[in-house]
Chains A and B, each alone.
Chain A
């Protein structure tokens, strides 16, 4: 059962455009939503994360938008650059879970290609 559904699976954007990746979750207890960026041949690295007490978090050209009622969160990459070409993973967890119930649930990833 996929508890975090990520879309699209792949995305092609022109340089300067806006890249949007969406994630939907089922567990209303989730309260931590990170995004990881993975360049080809490398391990993933934390890009940006959000808690549900805010609806938006921005770091440079990267913005997370969070819609608690819709149980959705999305990553927006403004002014997309060829160097942003990577695989992006969303994830979610419940920080209040205890013991073995604590786990990070991953989306399946989105492969982004930004054409020059």
Chain B
């Protein structure tokens, strides 16, 4: 099992560019989520999905889109990158929901917007 796989590991974007962070899990987990981590801000939930075809907003959804066409994949799209989106992004999955189940995180994607 690879667990949760994120790509790319590092990315530099120019302001206004768009990009997609890829995430895949091979554990047949229903629940997937995206977090961003910033110094002093902890982990903040961007979007989450409770199953294929179902997504919802988390704490900081503005500027990001997600879709869940399959159980395995949960890409995060930055529509028009802004310097405020410079952060480390983590994709995560859990069997049902992160509120009571073990969350498995990917290794992170470091994004810099210049």
Contacts and interface: CB of A to CB of B under 8 A. Distances in A.
Interface of A: 9, 32, 34, 36, 41-46, 89, 93-95, 97, 100, 102-104, 106-109
9 contacts: A36-B103, A44-B90, A45-B104, A46-B103, A94-B99, A97-B99, A103-B45, A106-B42, A106-B44
Contacts of A94: 99
Contacts, number: 51
A6 to B, nearest CB: 8
Interface stretch (B12-20, B68-76, B79-87, B105-113): B105-113
A52 to B, nearest CB: 13
Interface residues of B, number: 21
Interface of B: 4, 40-45, 56, 90, 92, 97-100, 102-108
B100 A43 contact: no
Contact of B102 (A46, A93, A97, A102): A46
